[in-house]
Structure 1
Amino acid sequence: MKKTDCNILVEKLVSMIRSFGSEKLSYSGRLILVNSVLTALYNYWINIFVIPTGVLNKLNAICRNYLWDGGADYVRVSMVGWEKVCCPKSKGGLGIKDSLAWNIAAIGKLVNQVYLKGQDWKDYKPSGDLSWRWKSVCKVKDKLDTGYQNGHWLLDARGYTLRSGYDLIRHKFQNVPWHKQIWNSWSLPKHQFIGWLIVREALMLKDKLFSLEIAPNDDCLLCVSNPLQRITDGQFSQVQKGVILSAISATFYHIWLQRNKARVDGVLQRPEFLRELIQKELKARIAVQLSQGIANRDNVWLRSRSLVV
């Protein structure tokens, strides 16, 4: 496809973002819309057409801008690089689909399983009388060449698949040890996102602002020392670990939020107010999780901490 053929796709994406009216959404809210709505708009296209690189980069840029600022246009610098954001959560990312890498992998599947119908794609060379478009499509295999050995696809015993082709293109990222703690199902999504930014060392905290000569010092506005202690989890059940991690995640979030209010508005909330707010959010999240049923031991543990009625 030509770049001009894809202009309507870019226009639809921008129009969709404008219709959201979601500038006030949290990062986690915008992440959900990127994954469930925006990428769905162009999934069909990138699965069956070779989309120009410039258009794919534009689609990525629009999604990136929306995630970090709530609009389609570039306004602020991303807090985490897009290549890392597009990693699965298990590899330290947010699970957003990289349209450029996905298009390459999708065309690889289309050529390998539909047009060649079982022929050895690695050694396939289009004849000279075929169209230049088909020849350009077949060049995709050069970007997937390392996945083959002796005519066999190494990443999946079933042969080439879309997911395994995508993983090959982005193979340089390894699993991270903290993803289960951050994306713990007991935590609220907005708390999870800020926790993710913290472990990524991406938040513009006072020490980072000081290093950039934006802030006059690196003193914490809420306290003089780190209020968070590392918690050992050997004595806790899975439910109890989830609740503790949810409380830590909520604490991270509200410290970050109050730090911003202190810096921008010069307002500090009482610690008691924040504690009550965190407890309220924690109880609401626990109520949702309890619908799935828990052991009596965990129920007693929650009641002893006044986390359930």
Structure 2
Amino acid sequence: MGIGSSSDPSRYSHKTEKVDGLYSNDDTTTEEIAEALKELSDSLKAEEMFWKQKKSKDEEGLVVIATSYFRQIFESSNPEDIADALSEAELRECEEVMKVVKKYGQASEQCINFEKSSLLFGKRINANVRQQIKDTPGIQNEGGMGTYLGIPEDISGSRCNFFAFLKDKLMHRVNGWTGRWLSKGGKEVLLKSILLALPTYVMSSFLLRLEICENLASAIAQFWWSSNPSKRGIHLAKWEKVCRPRKEAGVGFRMTHEFNLALLEKQLWRLVQYPDSLVARVLKGRYYRMCSPLRTISAISTTHRRDTFCWNYTKNGQYTVKSGYWVARNLLDADEKEVLEPSITKLQAFAWKITAPQKICHLIWQLITGYVAVTRNLARNDKIFRRIDRDPLELVRYVESECQVWFNANEIIPTPPQDLNIEEPQVLSLGNIYMIDGSWTSTAQFSGYRWVWLDRLGKVQLMGTRNHIRRESALHSEMEALRWAMESMLQHSTYQSFGIDYKDLIAMIYELHAWPSFATELERMETLKICFPDFKITHIPRAQNQISDFLPRTARSFHRILYFIGCSIPVWLPRSPQI
């Protein structure tokens, strides 16, 4: 069977039967079985290559069809030309698409049910063309009124009216819970797990207008502040303040517009990282044929490899929606944050760490923040509107009595100590290993590196310590320490086992492509690993890495350039108490 010929499983089925027959025959030699297996393997490889080429041709054909179709439609300013392009292109391309569909069905044995399928036409397609298109695939149903993955099929008209279904779905879900009379803790769970997640798929595909985002935020805020489902409720604070993270004195809800931007940035990141995907090639043919979607052209590095993009707001350089949302909230928003002196942000954040039910934590947070109608506010209202004076000490006495009751209820009776057999943690058997560590702070002038070679008995055979101009981060310093240890090992020993207490570095070594921000360093590391065919790196707890942990800090704080390799610590270097 030639690679370019049509596929037929019967062409290699007789070879499978031949192999089975040889296995069942006791007189068959090993050479005959090996030769038959080789013939079967070659046939299967040829079959696999055939379908790969067919798939590639089909994808390329779809890209050409889609690109030419979009160009004919969007690059013309004459409505009549657009109508002609639609009518001509639809007939020709419908046939091409059906060919691809039939080939897919033959290859995967998954056929499309055309009786349940439907076609969606534009308003400019006349009745004759519509009927011709229906007759080509045999689909007589017209669609457009249903939904696909929660989004209406017919995307036309006003965007505000089109996306109004988001608020309707949200309000329908809220009204289903109105009879529950949820506490603040229950409302928080409902908002974060259901209501804020409802428009996620739509926001990852479309940029919602600010009016739509404000309508969604208004509906969510009304549900949050309302204590009675039939009433609107008093909004005691701006919704932007409530949506701040908990460590910044907020509840941790998401802002709709900023989250929408973060989700769309994820799509852009995929176009940049996976330029050979089908959707990326279609969009490239229409919108950015001569450049990247970021409107930039990558330069060629000194290693003759094309540079790649990395995200500067994560540790590994990969974009995440969480980091994108942080950028949208903190860097894209030019408004200055309100600063109150003295600040109670830490006290507000501590309210969420209290070991208590969520409704109690919410109450404490509201009391600290002032987002609750306390007696002071009620007394002010009585003074203004009813001319009634109230004693402020009455509230203080009531709070004292309630606090005393709470302390009495939570008083813990001490239990006599019991003898517990606490097992000491086992010490790992390290063997011949290089213990590595780095030290880094954002204010120091140097970064400190250290490696220690231990034998099977745990005795120090050789050690090295040095400092260098401060690197970009602690992870960069750990990687530099590992690289220096590997270079030193090539000169002083033949062992290839390393131990380090930084788990991110181990993950980086085994998952190179997941850390684009360290591409240059990892490329050097890969070149160095060629000299270590049995390279192994393991995680060592910091408690077993005391020497390698203390000396890098000493090297980092040293007042001048330091470089030392020897069998013991020099007398002019400070010593750790454990050494």
Instruction: Pick the TM interval, shorter chain.
Output: 0.5 to 0.7
Give 1 or 2 for the bigger CA radius of gyration.
2
Deviations 1:46-66 (Å, cap 9, x if unpaired)? Answer: 223212221111111111100
Give the deviation of 1:167 after TM superposition. 0.9
> Is contact 2:348-2:368 (8 Å) kept?
no
> Is contact 1:30-1:67 (8 Å) kept?
yes
How far apart, in 2, do the equivalents of 1:77 and 1:211 lie? Answer: 17
The answer for the alignment partner of 1:262 in structure 2 is none
The answer for the alignment partner of 1:302 in structure 2 is 412
SS of the residue aligned with 1:116?
helix
Kindly report which structure 2 residues correspond to 1:114-263, keeping only aligned pairs within 5 A, or say none. 114-117=270-273, 130=287, 153-157=311-315, 158-171=317-330, 176-179=345-348, 181-211=350-380, 213-214=384-385, 216-217=388-389, 219-220=391-392, 222-225=394-397, 227=399
Amino acid corresponding to residue 161 of structure 1 in structure 2? T
How far apart, in 2, do the equivalents of 1:72 and 1:12 lie? Answer: 17
Amino acid corresponding to residue 302 of structure 1 in structure 2? I
> Is contact 2:243-2:254 (8 Å) kept?
yes
**Kindly tell me: are residues 279 and 45 of structure 1, through their superposed partners in 2, closer, same or farther at Cα, counting changes over 3 Å?**
farther
CA RMSD of aligned residues (A): 3.9
Give the deviation of 1:12 after TM superposition. 0.9
Taking every aligned residue pair, what percent have the same amino acid on both sides?
18
Amino acid corresponding to residue 320 of structure 2 in structure 1? T
Give the deviation of 1:304 after TM superposition. 4.0
How far apart, in 2, do the equivalents of 1:47 and 1:217 lie? Answer: 56
Amino acid corresponding to residue 211 of structure 2 in structure 1? G
Q: Structure 2: any 5+ residue segments left out of the alignment? A: 1-154, 276-282, 296-308, 331-335, 416-579
Residue 81 of structure 1 pairs with residue 238 of structure 2 = yes
> Is contact 2:227-2:233 (8 Å) kept?
no
**Kindly tell me: are residues 227 and 70 of structure 1, through their superposed partners in 2, closer, same or farther at Cα, counting changes over 3 Å?**
closer
Deviations 1:206-264 (Å, cap 9, x if unpaired)? Answer: 33345563574453485455845xxxxxxxxxxxxxxxxxxxxxx68xxxxxxxxxxxx
Kindly report which structure 2 residues correspond to 1:56-95, keeping only aligned pairs within 5 A, or say none. 56-69=213-226, 75-95=232-252
Amino acid corresponding to residue 79 of structure 1 in structure 2? L
Give the deviation of 1:152 after TM superposition. 6.2
Give the deviation of 1:179 after TM superposition. 4.4
> Is contact 1:85-1:94 (8 Å) kept?
yes
The answer for the alignment partner of 2:534 in structure 1 is none
Higher strand share: 2
Higher helix share: 1
Give the deviation of 1:279 after TM superposition. 7.3
SS of the residue aligned with 2:373?
coil
What's the TM-score, normalizing by structure 2? Answer: 0.33
How far apart, in 1, do the equivalents of 2:216 and 2:195 lie? Answer: 9
Amino acid corresponding to residue 303 of structure 1 in structure 2? I
> Is contact 2:160-2:209 (8 Å) kept?
yes
SS of the residue aligned with 2:258?
helix
The answer for the alignment partner of 1:100 in structure 2 is 257
**Kindly tell me: are residues 74 and 117 of structure 1, through their superposed partners in 2, closer, same or farther at Cα, counting changes over 3 Å?**
farther
> Is contact 1:10-1:59 (8 Å) kept?
yes
The answer for the alignment partner of 2:178 in structure 1 is 21
How many aligned positions are there?
A: 220
Amino acid corresponding to residue 168 of structure 2 in structure 1? E
> Is contact 2:375-2:395 (8 Å) kept?
no
SS of the residue aligned with 2:197?
helix
Kindly report which structure 2 residues correspond to 1:29-40, keeping only aligned pairs within 5 A, or say none. 29-40=186-197
Looking at both structures, which has the greater relative contact order when contacts are Cα pairs under 8 Å and sequence separation is at least 6? 1
